[in-house]
């Protein structure tokens, strides 16, 4: 097998790979922000102590966490256009699916982070007349986010790796960019190997930064 990486030049990277890389990063950022937002709402529902809020949130979270992401992507891409009567596109389908799926995982991270705050903090807020919303917004969630930051960032790295699954519905992510470049230059094996190297380098570097951040947070505590 002749592994010749010389066919990769700047024009190829610009035309094929960077386009997919931008979408992979965009999908990661949007899914992270949306997942944290809706995950926080789900976590608060599960911690509300009200069964009519806790039960549907628990069903959603446990259900999503029990299904492979690629299956959710395929179901949404195939079933939703059939239900609404028009296609929504592979990229939009991927964005909505990732937000809905990641919300379940971020929900569990948020719930664990909120529960890690001593109950005394809650009672102190109540003692000074804070409402439940004020207590959560001003006292509990800021501390919980600091505690959860390394875990949230680790989940984001996993999310970035999972963006390659949108390949199943034809969305143009970074892996698709490498595949397209490989097909155009007749080097499919080399393109997939280079894609693996790029994913490894990016994710390893981000994991190293998260580890450093975790140590700094531990020192501050």
The topology under which CATH files domain 10-220 is MetI-like fold (1.10.3720)
Q: How confident is the model at residue 101 (pLDDT cuts 50, 70, 90)?
A: very high
Rounded to two decimals, the pTM is: 0.87
State both tokens at 55: 């039960």
Q: How confident is the model at residue 2 (pLDDT cuts 50, 70, 90)?
A: very low
Tell me if 150 sits within 8 A of 213, measured CB to CB: yes
9-56: per-residue pLDDT in tens? 556 566 788 889 999 999 999 999 999 999 999 999 998 889 999 999
Residues near 10 by beta carbon (within 8 Å), at least 6 away in sequence:
none
Any idea what DSSP says for residue 66? Answer: T
């Amino acid at each position: 097998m002749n592994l010749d990486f010389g066919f990769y030049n700047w024009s190829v990277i610009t035309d094929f790979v960077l386009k997919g890389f931008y979408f992979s990063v965009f999908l990661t950022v949007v899914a992270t922000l949306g997942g944290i937002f809706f995950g926080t709402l789900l976590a608060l529902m599960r911690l509300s102590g009200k069964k009519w809020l806790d039960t549907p949130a628990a069903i959603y979270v446990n259900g999503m966490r029990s299904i492979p992401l690629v299956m959710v992507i395929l179901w949404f891409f195939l079933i939703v256009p059939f239900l609404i009567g028009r296609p929504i596109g592979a990229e939009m389908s991927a964005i909505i699916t990732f937000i809905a799926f990641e919300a379940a995982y971020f929900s569990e991270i948020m719930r664990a982070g909120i529960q890690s705050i001593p109950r005394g903090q809650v009672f102190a807020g109540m003692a000074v007349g804070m409402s439940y919303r004020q207590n959560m917004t001003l006292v509990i969630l800021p501390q919980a986010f600091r505690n959860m930051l390394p875990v949230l960032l680790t989940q984001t790295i996993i999310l970035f790796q999972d963006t390659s699954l949108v390949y199943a519905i034809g969305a143009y992510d970074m892996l698709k960019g490498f595949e397209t470049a490989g097909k155009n230059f007749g080097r499919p094996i080399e393109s997939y190997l280079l894609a693996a190297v790029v994913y490894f380098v990016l994710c390893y570097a981000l994991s190293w930064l998260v580890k450093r951040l975790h140590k700094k947070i531990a020192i501050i505590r």
